[in-house]
Structure 1
Amino acid sequence: MKLVIAAVAILAVHVIALVLTPAGGMAISYGFFFAVAVAAMSSTVLAWHSSGEPRDSRWWLLLASLVLWTVGMSLSARQNYVMDNSNPAPGDSMFFYILYVLPVLVAVSSAPVAARKKWARSIDLVLAALLGVLFYVRTFSIVSVEGAMGPQQAVDVAHMLDFENLCLAVAALLRFLATDRADDHYFFRAVMAFFVCYAISGYFYNHYIALGGHPDFGDSPWDALLDIPFLALCIATLSRKPQRHWHPPVYLVRFVQSASPTFLAMSVLGFGLMVIPGYPSLGITGAIAAVIGIGLRGTLAQVDLVEEEFRLSRSRDELEGLVFVDSLTGLANRRALDERLLREWHRPGQREPIALLMIDVDYFKEYNDRYGHLAGDDCLRALAATMMARGLRAGDFLARFGGEEFAVVAPGTRLAEAMVLAEDLRAHVEAQAIVHPRSPFGVLTITVGVAAIQPSTVGGPLELLNAADRALYRAKHSGRNRTGSLGEVRQEPSARAG
């Protein structure tokens, strides 16, 4: 509120000074214009400084626009004081009054932070440079350095200013209404406040003051109108960052953000069409560049989108892989085992039994007690590598069931074949001769329970799991270092058995 009161006080002082000292009105107005412009530039620098880390570089674009406007005002003062030119539309100052929108137009046309690519900035810079050339040609096709040749030319310049101010005000308003980040909300509030006020006050001043009988600054108290945009910018930047009181639909936010990069290209297209009558080659070049710019941005954005989708898909596959992988051994985990069993059970045309081997490491608790849990983890990793290296066939599926238990799914395998596979695994592990002093066998051994069931619509994979678990239980209670099924339990001779 204090900032608003201060702004109103500045306007009142400007008006009163013009009313009380009309002879020095021009100097008074120029003094106020430069003062409010400097205040706006200072507040912009402060806003940039308080924008956080990394700081928002778009504030420098807004600052550049204010600097260009101030240069235009300086050239206008030069026309009045140095050249004694009272023409309401001198060409040099008019060019800068038109050119000043260019930096902030680049900011308004910028994509969201995540989509700000170097190639996009390069396209924007090329289009901005071309737009600057079109501004120059369009301005000096209407007026000369000394000014407008007649009333109609002055009106044409005013209409051109109205058009660009209105377009930028609408673009800034759309960006402000469709923001989803606090920094964007803060920046576009300031831009919107300035250009909406400038579009309104500039239109009224140009058409009803400058072209209405008061071509020189200081001839009317209405000069204070041109203070308003800069004071509004100061209020918007110096007041605390705004709290959003509405939440725009996500579709609207994405639509405006996606469409905003076309603002700059459409400006090039519009001004290119304007200069075609006098400069057909340049106008056509501008129109073609605008179309190419829009198409190129769209194509490169699509390439980035496809690349991002590929990256996300790859990340999703990697995450899904982690979900199904046991972090200790690198084997498939219990979740992957359940899914594999379910898939094999319901495989179309399944006519052979599915065998399941449940594997338990013998006396593993005693191994941990003797060597510690870290050594136990190393032991499980070595055991997993051993079983993966030998004993399994193509199509067999090895997983860690949990703790010191493992499981092998053997599709299309009858019980007798599964028993042979189990014995090969048992013998291969024993042959590794991993020292286990607290085992009666002296080395690390395993016990394997085997079950094989023909899939049917009546039962399910749980039936096979239960059968293999019961076979393992029975084998363990008949003595370790064994393989067995519910039909038989068989102990293999061991040279190290005591």
Structure 2
Amino acid sequence: MLGFRRTNSDRGTIRLVVALLIMLLTAHVVLAHWCGHAEAVPPQLAMLMVQGMAVWAVYTRYRRSPSLIRLPWLLLASAVLMQMLWNGTNVLATVLGDKGGYLAALATVLSALYVIPCMFMSTRSFTLHEPRAVVVLDLVLLFLVAVLVYQFFTTLLSGPLAADPASIYVVVYLADAIDFSLAAMAIVRLLGARSFRWRIFYYTGGAYLLVNATVACIYNRIEMHGLPWWAGALINIPHALLVLVALRQPPRWLRSYRPSRGVSQTIASFAPILLSTMVVMLCISTARFNFVPSLVVGALAVLFYGLRVAFIQSRQLDQQRAIDQSTWRLEQQVGRDPLTGIANRATLDRHLREALEEGRRTGGFCSLLMIDIDYFKQYNDSLGHIAGDACLVKVADALGRNLVRRHDLVARYGGEEFAIVLIDTNAEVAEEVARRLIIAVEHLQIAHPGSPLGRLSISIGLATQTEQSLTDPVAMLAEADDALYRAKRNGRNRFEGAPGETDPSTISVDASGA
């Protein structure tokens, strides 16, 4: 019956429900006029039946909704049920008598407690991945609000302050502020809902809360001067509206409206702030009557919001670490560096091991170049990390373009360091390649404010496989790395070979002497 496509049977059921609703509304007005006052038992029983229909309509929505959206519908049904309890307590007060005014105070408390499920349904994100600690904090905070509301109304309405008109006005104004704030929160959530089913819920809840706030505002002021016989009919308006909105097809604009992802995320992130803000406002309003409880609940509202943010940020950091780890594993499987597009460290290790094993087997020894961009930290500090990333891409491209043979490998070793594996290459040829690469980077003419040269340059360390070399790539990487550090100590923008591998007269030849 409540799906988006209805059969003839569903339409017939809806017509029957609407007819019954009209009968109850008419009966309430007739009985109230016949009895002569709004608080008579017969019209209040008719009002209870209208409220019961509203609970039934919302509960039916709850049963037919997906699991993720069921809780909000249940909360809305609970809010209407609180209104039923208020009305039922008033009936008891009329039947049994209420000399001490306790039943009247209890009815007022029950009516006020409907804000608890309304707060929860308007401010919660209802996501599957929200930490349980956040849910617990919200529940504890709402429980404390319920206790504060109970203490406030019992203090104000069952004690000596009950006869003070100023105290009654405080209750009325506070009720107006809470009711209209709840309606505004539901409407804001409607504007931020990307799912059609969520828009249906917030449209239904927002319409009910807005009309209920308006009716309560009028009813409370009429009650202060004595209720006429027709006043109870006002309370039927939001509940009758809720039945109609919950059962009928949603308007077309609700289906076509779809906020942007940025608007939706902003509203969803802002909603929890509204909960803490409302609690603090409530505490400020009740502080003059219950100072210590109001102060404690207000402080806890601020503390709980801080803890809520901390828990959510912790969960987000955990998720980001999991994503980063998955990305790293994927990169290792793919074998490519995501920024520069050249081989990554895992591919370098595997390729170098294979080259060393091939050189030991055939005698065609390989060479390894370790390359570092000079003063790269200063480059990032002066020009920013975006410019630094662009620089790494340009250098990687220059290194790859100046390798003649396709079976040689250029890889990103990490950070601003690169490595090149030269298959079947002796030390002299490796030196020529190093000279060519230094000149190639120099020809890029990348301005570098932090370098003494005023432009980007690289330093290179060389290592060549010998008969005594191990087939473990770690040892050869360490030799090339040591040579690289000597090149940097000796002035940068140059290459250095491992000791004993090259002629001493050519060990410290820089680009200008090539």
Q: Tell me the TM-score normalised to structure 1 length.
A: 0.63
Question: SS state of the match for residue 202, structure 1?
Answer: helix
2:335 is the alignment partner of 1:339: no
1:390 aligns to 2:357 (yes or no) = yes
Aligned pairs for 1:3-18 (under 5 A) are 6=19, 10-18=24-32
Decide which structure has the larger Cα Rg and report it. Answer: 1
The amino acid that maps onto 2:409 is: V
Contact 2:408/2:422 (CA < 8 Å) preserved in 1?
Answer: no
Deviations 1:51-110 (A, max 9, x none): 124562222222222222222222111212211569799211111111121122112110
Is the 1:415–1:452 Cα contact (8 Å) retained in structure 2?
A: no
Residues 176-227 of structure 1: CA deviation (Å, up to 9, x unaligned)? 121112332122122112111100111111112x22321xxxx422321111
1:155 to 156, 159, 169: 169
1:212 aligns with 2:225: yes
Separation in 1, partners of 2:149, 2:70: 28
Matched length: 369
Alignment of 1:151-300 (within 5 A): 151-208=165-222, 210-214=223-227, 219-240=228-249, 243-300=254-311
Q: Work out the CA distance in 2 between the residues paired with 1:336 and 1:97.
A: 61
Percent of counterpart pairs with the same letter?
A: 19
Task: Return the alpha-carbon distance in structure 1 between the equivalents of residues 178 and 356 of structure 2.
Answer: 74
Note closer, same or farther for the CA distance 1:180–1:54 as it changes in structure 2 (3 Å cut): closer
Q: Which residue number corresponds to residue 8 of structure 2?
A: none
The correspondence for 1:309, drawn from 307, 320, 324, is 320
Query: 1:143 aligns to what?
Result: 157
Q: Deviations over 1:15-51 (max 9, x none)?
A: 3443355379722321222111211111122111111
- Cα deviation, residue 118, structure 1: 0.4
Query: What's the counterpart of residue 371 of structure 1?
Result: none
Structure 2, gaps ≥5 residues long: 1-10, 360-365, 371-405, 411-419, 442-514
| In structure 1, distance between residues paired with 2:35 and 2:421 | 105
For residues 430-461 of structure 1, the C-alpha deviation after alignment (integer angstroms, 9 at most, x for no partner) is: xxxxxxxxxxxxxxxxxxxxx99955759xxx
Shift of 1:247: 2.5
Task: State the superposition RMSD in angstroms.
Answer: 4.1
Paired position in structure 2 for 1:377: none
Task: Choose 302-311 or 282-291, whichever is displaced more.
Answer: 302-311
Which position in structure 2 is the counterpart of 1:409? 409
Structural mapping, 1:348-363, within 5 Å: none
1:19-34 equivalent positions in 2, closer than 5 A = 19-20=33-34, 22=36, 26-34=40-48
How far, CA to CA, are the matches of 2:250 and 2:23 in structure 1? 24
Matches within 5 A, 1:414-429: 417=426
Shift of 1:128: 0.8
Q: After TM superposition, list the pairs within 5 Å mapping 1:56-205 onto structure 2.
A: 56-83=70-97, 90-144=104-158, 148-205=162-219
Secondary structure (helix, strand or coil) at the match of 1:180 reads coil
State the alpha-carbon separation in 2 of the partners of residues 413 and 20 from structure 1. 104
SS in 1 for 2:409: strand
Q: Output the amino acid matched with 2:65.
A: S
**Structure number with higher helix proportion:** 2
Offset of residue 409 of structure 1: 2.7
Q: Whole-Å Cα distance in 2 between the matches of residues 336 and 289 of structure 1?
A: 47
Separation in 2, partners of 1:117, 1:262: 17
| Secondary structure of residue in 2 paired with 1:390 | helix
Confirm or deny: 8 A CA contact 1:130 1:268 kept in the other structure. no
Aligned partners of 2:69 and 2:198 also within 8 Å? no
Equivalent residues of 1:138, 1:274 under 8 A apart: no
Q: Is the 8 A contact 2:408 2:421 kept in 1?
A: no
CA distance in 2 between partners of 1:389 and 1:151 (Å): 95
SS of corresponding position for 1:220: coil
TM-score, with structure 2 as normaliser: 0.62
Amino acid at match of 2:78: A
> Would you say the 8 A contact 1:89–1:143 is kept in 2?
no
State the alpha-carbon separation in 2 of the partners of residues 85 and 251 from structure 1.
Answer: 57
- In structure 1, what is the Cα distance between the partners aligned to 2:74 and 2:256? 27
C-alpha distance in structure 2 between counterparts of 1:190 and 1:66, whole Å:
13
Against the structure 1 CA distance between its residues 408 and 234, is the aligned structure 2 distance closer, same or farther, given a 3 Å change threshold? same
Q: What do the CA deviations read for 1:249-285 (whole angstroms, capped 9, x no partner)?
A: 4333222211111233223212222333333322221
Distance 1:35 1:195 in 2: 19
Quote how far apart the aligned CAs of 1:123 are.
Answer: 0.5
Determine the C-alpha separation between the residues in 1 that align with 2:320 and 2:225. 59
Letter in 2 for 1:101: V
User: Alignment partner of 1:116: what SS?
Assistant: coil
Distance 1:211 1:25, change over 3 A: closer
Alpha carbons 1:72, 1:97 under 8 Å: kept: yes
Aligned AA (2:317): V
